[in-house]
């Protein structure tokens, strides 16, 4: 029986999801069991995001909730981790006395020790020192018991290959809260992936703010070579990576989509704006034209590659003309899907001091126009896939049980194609009801219907797409 209950609230990007997973695994070894109910918890961790003002507001309101819980249960411990912890350090501890530990972005590995320290001498602990080395977990942490029981059963996981960012896009807080770019040793990455594969993981997403510059500073393996090493891990089925900066997307990396059998047929390539003038003000170091050239090269290597992107609308000084160039780029590329955000001032980032801020109304209008345009494009792209057959990596039972079939006994499964498209399908009758066994298997599925965020299909033997 596990001693204590741990609740983790993860806000923000995959980097935080990875760090939260690591914290859960470390604390599992210290006798903590994850719970979904915050009211049951002995220890609450909020892993925070500072990328936009809205994300920071979410953190404050969560801290308010925990304050009330603590009044009822004074033994409850609260850790604030992630980017807001790093950004605000001692200030967050002073403003929120309910906080026990402020865990900066470079201090994740210290968490079990800090909790022990807290138990011995209750007080507010601030761990926000930044380091210029990566604190690698010891070999014992990569044992087969690597995944905590609550994470058991997942088939896809993240592995950080580098930390920080040196790009200083003018709107972005990341270089200030995650520090300078630093890459992990390839051997440590491969060891972690091998241990995850042994624990049942079939798909790995390699994480970094700018994976294309992996290893360059430290003169390690190049990113395409690292991908080839990961591709050689026995038992691993699929490899993904995020995020790729368009300025550093090399020909060698583009070629990898044609040569590495496990590398998924999808790239997330955030463009942010379709106007070269705005891209310059954002310090992105590429133009609209060079971005479009890279898309052409990718499609020359892999014609069916799914391309997704990020956009910021209403960057300071963005005119109607600039925004129209963004809309035009969206039409030209035909992204599978996009994430788009209204520009948000970050006090550390230089753009917060730029003139010609765009009004909230115009930002909102532009965002809605962008979403509307993209929705039409996604619909057209998705409809064109009806009748095609794809390899689907099965993730488990579908959330919308029996939405598509009249058959009351039917079990519906969900999985993803290599292009990262979600496909739900009915399990063939001879699979029985113990569908958990099917998790992690790859099956051919023929698409029968397209929706805005997913597809419906039937099992078909020979997939035409990997
Ligand atoms: N305002 C709005 N969106 C932002 N992003 C990063 N910083 C900001 C900001 N200050 C978006 C970018 C990035 C994604 C992770 O978040 O589109 O690619
Ligand atoms: Fe932020 Fe730019 Fe670095 Fe991405 S590349 S994390 S947007 S500074």
What CATH code is carried by the domain that includes residue 233? 3.30.750.210
Q: Are residues 26 and 77 in the same domain?
A: yes
Q: Does residue 81 fall inside a structural domain?
A: yes
> What local confidence, expressed as pLDDT, does residue 398 receive?
86
Domain total for the chain?
4
455, part of any domain: yes
CATH at 102:
3.40.50.12160
Ligand nearest to the CA of 175: 2
Residues 92 and 197 in one domain: no
pLDDT of residue 143: 46
The length of the chain is: 466
Residue 466 falls inside a structural domain: no
Compute CA 314 distance to the chain's CA centroid, rounded to the nearest angstrom.
24
Is residue 414 left, alpha or beta, with left meaning phi > 0 and alpha meaning psi from -120 to 50?
beta
Mark whether 238 and 286 lie in a shared domain: no
CA distances from 454 to 112, 202, 383, 419, 460 (A): 40, 21, 11, 12, 18
| Owning domain of residue 439 | 389-459
CATH number at residue 303: 3.30.750.200
Query: Do 258 and 274 fall within a single domain?
Result: no
Is residue 465 in a domain?
A: no
**Residue 401 pLDDT class (50, 70, 90 cuts):** low
Reported as a single tens digit per residue, the pLDDT across 148-184 is 655 677 899 999 999 999 999 999 999 999 999 999 9
pTM: 0.93
Each residue's pLDDT tens digit, 410-427: 789 999 999 999 999 988
Question: In terms of C-beta distances under 8 Å and separation of at least 24 residues, what long-range contacts does 407-412 make, across chains too?
Answer: 411/435
Please say if the pLDDT value at position 402 is more than 60. Answer: no
Q: What is the mean pLDDT of residues 192-197?
A: 95
**Co-location of 277 and 377 in the same domain:** yes
Pocket of ligand 1 (CB under 6 A): 51-52, 171-172, 270, 272, 310, 312, 341, 343-344, 346
Shared-domain flag, residues 395 and 378 = no
Per DSSP (E only), the strands in 265-332 are 266-268, 306-313
Residue 416: name the closest of 428, 405, 426, 424 by CA: 424
CA distance 399 to 242: 26
Counting Cβ atoms within 10 Å, is residue 69 exposed (0-12), middle (13-18) or buried (19+)? middle
pLDDT range class, residue 146, cuts 50, 70, 90: low
Around ligand 2, the residues with Cβ closer than 6 Å are: 165, 167-169, 172, 174-175, 209-210, 245
Q: Which atom of ligand 2 is nearest to the CA of 178?
A: 6
The residue out of 383, 401, 416 marking a domain boundary is 383
Report the mean per-residue pLDDT for the chain: 93
Residue 348 lies in a domain: yes
Last residue of a domain, one of 127, 145, 164: 127
201 and 145 belong to one structural domain = yes
Rounded mean pLDDT of 285-301? 98
pLDDT greater than 90 at residue 383: yes
Determine, yes or no, domain membership for 241. yes
Name the domain boundary from 383, 414, 440. Answer: 383
- Determine the pLDDT at residue 403: 53
Give the Cα separation of 108 and 131 in Å (integer): 12
Q: What's the pLDDT score for residue 422?
A: 97
Ligand 1 centre to CA of 328 (Å) is 20
> What is the rounded average pLDDT of the residues 54-67?
97
Give yes or no: residues 146 and 259 share one domain: yes
Angle (CA) 342 344 346, round 5°: 160
| 246 and 288 both lie in a single domain | no
- Whether residues 179 and 243 share a domain: the answer is yes
Torsion-angle region of 243 (φ positive above 0: left; ψ -120 to 50: alpha; else: beta):
beta
């Amino acid at each position: 029986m596990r001693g204590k209950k741990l609740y983790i609230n993860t806000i923000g990007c995959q980097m935080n999801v990875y760090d939260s997973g690591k914290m859960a695994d470390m604390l599992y070894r210290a006798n903590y069991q994850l719970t979904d109910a915050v009211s049951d918890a002995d220890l609450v961790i909020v892993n925070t995001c500072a990328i936009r003002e809205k994300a920071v507001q979410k953190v404050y309101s969560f801290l308010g909730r925990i304050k009330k819980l603590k009044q009822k249960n004074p033994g409850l411990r609260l850790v604030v981790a992630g980017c807001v912890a790093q950004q605000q350090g001692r200030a967050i501890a002073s403003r929120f006395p309910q906080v026990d530990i402020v865990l900066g972005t470079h201090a994740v590995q210290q968490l079990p020790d800090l909790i022990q320290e807290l138990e011995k001498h209750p007080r507010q602990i601030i761990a926000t020192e930044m380091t210029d080395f990566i604190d690698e977990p010891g070999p014992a942490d990569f044992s087969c018991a690597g995944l905590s029981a609550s994470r058991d059963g997942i088939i896809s996981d993240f592995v950080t290959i580098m930390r920080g960012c040196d790009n200083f896009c003018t709107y972005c807080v990341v270089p200030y809260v995650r520090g300078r770019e630093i890459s992990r040793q390839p051997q440590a990455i491969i060891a972690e992936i091998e241990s995850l594969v042994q624990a049942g993981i079939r798909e790995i997403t390699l994480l970094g703010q700018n994976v294309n510059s992996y290893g360059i500073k430290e003169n390690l393996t190049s990113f395409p070579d690292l991908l080839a090493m990961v591709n050689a891990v026995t038992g691993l089925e699929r490899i993904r990576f995020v995020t790729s900066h368009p300025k550093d997307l090399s020909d060698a990396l583009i070629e990898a989509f044609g040569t590495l059998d496990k590398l998924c047929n999808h790239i997330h390539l955030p463009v942010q704006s379709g106007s070269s003038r705005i891209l310059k003000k954002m310090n992105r170091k590429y133009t609209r034209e060079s971005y479009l050239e890279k898309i052409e090269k990718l499609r020359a290597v892999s014609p069916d590659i799914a391309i997704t992107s990020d956009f910021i609308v209403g960057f300071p000084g963005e005119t109607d003309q600039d925004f129209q160039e963004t809309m035009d780029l969206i039409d030209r590329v035909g992204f599978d899907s996009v994430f788009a955000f209204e520009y948000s001032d970050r006090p550390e980032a230089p753009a917060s001091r730029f003139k010609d801020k765009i009004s909230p109304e115009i930002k909102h209008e532009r965002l809605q126009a962008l979403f509307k345009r993209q929705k039409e494009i996604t619909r057209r792209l998705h409809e064109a896939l009806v009748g095609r057959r794809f390899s689907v990596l099965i993730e488990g039972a579908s959330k919308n049980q029996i939405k598509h079939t009249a058959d009351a006994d039917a079990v519906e499964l969900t999985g993803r194609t290599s292009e990262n498209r979600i496909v739900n399908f009915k399990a063939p009758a001879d699979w029985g009801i113990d569908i958990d066994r099917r998790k992690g298997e790859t099956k051919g599925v023929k698409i029968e219907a397209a929706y805005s965020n997913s597809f419906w299909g039937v099992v078909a033997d020979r997939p035409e797409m990997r």
